[in-house]
């Protein structure tokens, strides 16, 4: 999540942090299926207005969450009769994505939505668009400077870890000498460090709980299985596991089943349908997941349309589109699974 001091942006007014109701990750899992998440309801201000051409550039959809991002953006754009949606073919190659953004700039799209494969590496592309008079919606992975975007919308990685930690803490607060382990994402990503920091900060409020082990995986099924197997071998007994990503969680659950282990609760991350199905069925150690909702892509299209039509956002008093929106990471367990199950992605 970006520093909340980043408020004086081009074209901008006041920034806000909004709790939307609905990881940045990569995977080479061959069994991944196309995501068909539930369509989100159209924005409140859905009366046709000035026509807006929205360019969309994202990374390769080789992970369930990233594929859901593409689906959500496309579906939302198609819900508006006054929007033309111009997507690029996603790529994890920085040079290719920069070239794709250049193409959208040359096409003179009205607004550009970018989920950069690498926020730092794509910053100059965002700056180029802004200087060309094309406002940029920076989706999730943030550029290095607020001058490279008009509005940022993305997940609250620190809050994701914080909410996971407090959920586990409340479940174990009556247990003396409780032990927890963590299956993190890619350690060289800032989002992974933020998720771990939030988790650790939450656990500090529960003096009876100690984190005894942590393994970093790669947001893939294979890495989740391998790293979870290592955790299980090293830790003969623990009370809770937080896994940063539901895709790698598929592999983690395989390792847990193969080891014949139980007696602890597992909390996942992101909100994949596979995880929600396990939570609904209550058929194993996975008891909850902390959302990192891909619906932020649909909201990015709403924001792009509002900018293109020089409007504010319905339901918010400000006359201008905000500069920041941090999406809330709700914890989903058996008590609220029916509410969130339709939002799960494959």
pLDDT in tens, 324-340: 999 999 999 999 999 99
Q: pLDDT tens digit string along 176-214?
A: 999 999 999 999 888 999 999 999 999 999 999 999 999
The beta-strand segments (E) located in the chain are: 52-57, 83-87, 111-114, 136-139, 151-155, 178-184, 209-216, 240-243, 265-270, 286-291, 324-327, 331-332
Q: Which residues contact 15 (CB under 8 A, 6 or more apart)?
A: 4, 6, 7, 9, 322, 323, 324
For residue 234, is pLDDT > 70? yes
Q: Which residues contact 95 (CB under 8 A, 6 or more apart)?
A: none
Q: Region 67-75: what's the mean pLDDT?
A: 94
pLDDT class for 44, splitting at 50, 70, 90? very low
For residue 15, is pLDDT > 90? no
Burial class (CB in 10 A: 0-12, 13-18, 19+), 170: exposed
Report how far residue 213's alpha carbon sits from residue 192's, in angstroms, rounded to the nearest whole number: 16
Whether this model's pTM surpasses 0.85: no
The confidence score (pLDDT) of residue 28 equals 31
Give the whole-number percent of the chain exceeding pLDDT 90. Answer: 77
Tokens of 96: 């290719």
Residue 345 DSSP class: B
For residue 158, is pLDDT > 60? yes
Closest CA to 10 of 307, 212, 257: 307
Tell me the domains of the chain and their CATH numbers: 157-291 (3.40.50.2300)
Q: Region 27-45: what's the mean pLDDT?
A: 43
Q: pLDDT tens digit string along 106-137?
A: 999 999 999 998 899 999 999 999 999 999 99
The confidence score (pLDDT) of residue 4 equals 32
Q: What is the mean pLDDT of the chain?
A: 88
Tokens 């994949």 correspond to: 272
Q: Region 268-296: what's the mean pLDDT?
A: 96
**Please, are residues 336 and 76 in contact by the beta-carbon 8 Å criterion?**
no
Which SS3 state, helix, strand or coil, does residue 224 take? helix
For residue 11, is pLDDT > 90? no
Buried b / exposed e along 67-97 (16+ C-beta atoms within 10 A): bbbbbbbbbbbebbeebebbbbebbeebebb
The confidence score (pLDDT) of residue 331 equals 98
Closest CA to 88 of 100, 78, 76: 100
Q: Region 230-241: what's the mean pLDDT?
A: 97
Residue 244 DSSP class: S
For residue 102, is pLDDT > 90? yes
The confidence score (pLDDT) of residue 316 equals 80
For residue 43, is pLDDT > 80? no
Tokens of 222: 């294979």
Q: Region 225-250: what's the mean pLDDT?
A: 97
């Amino acid at each position: 999540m970006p520093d909340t001091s980043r408020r004086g942006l081009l074209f901008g007014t006041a920034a806000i942090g909004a709790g939307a109701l609905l990881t940045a990750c990569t995977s080479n899992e061959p069994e991944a299926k196309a995501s068909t998440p539930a369509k989100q309801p159209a924005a409140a201000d859905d009366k046709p207005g000035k026509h807006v051409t929205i360019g969309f550039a994202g990374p390769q959809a080789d992970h369930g969450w990233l594929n859901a991002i593409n689906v959500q953006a496309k579906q939302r754009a198609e819900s508006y009769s006054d929007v033309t949606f111009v997507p690029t073919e996603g790529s994890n190659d920085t040079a290719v994505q920069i070239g794709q953004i250049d193409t959208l700039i040359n096409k003179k799209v009205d607004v550009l939505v970018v989920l950069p494969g690498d926020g730092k590496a794509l910053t100059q592309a965002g700056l180029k668009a802004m200087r060309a008079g094309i406002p940029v919606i920076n989706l999730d992975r943030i550029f290095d400077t607020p001058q490279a975007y008009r509005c940022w919308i993305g997940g609250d990685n620190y809050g994701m870890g914080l909410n996971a930690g407090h959920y586990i803490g409340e479940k174990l607060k009556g247990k003396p000498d409780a032990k927890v382990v963590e299956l993190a994402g890619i350690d060289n990503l800032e989002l992974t460090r933020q998720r771990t920091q939030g988790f650790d900060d939450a656990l500090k409020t529960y003096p009876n709980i100690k984190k005894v082990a942590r393994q970093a995986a790669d947001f893939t099924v294979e890495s989740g299985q391998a790293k979870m197997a290592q955790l299980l071998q090293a830790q003969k007994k623990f009370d809770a596991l937080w896994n940063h990503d539901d895709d790698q969680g598929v592999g983690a659950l395989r390792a847990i089943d193969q080891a014949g282990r139980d007696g602890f609760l597992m909390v996942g991350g992101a909100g994949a349908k596979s995880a929600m199905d396990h939570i609904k069925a209550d058929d194993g150690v996975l008891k909850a997941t902390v959302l990192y909702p891909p619906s932020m892509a649909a909201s990015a299209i709403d924001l792009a349309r509002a900018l293109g039509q020089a409007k504010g956002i319905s339901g918010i008093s400000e006359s201008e589109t905000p500069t920041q929106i941090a999406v809330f990471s709700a914890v989903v367990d058996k008590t609220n699974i029916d509410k969130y199950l339709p939002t799960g992605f494959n």
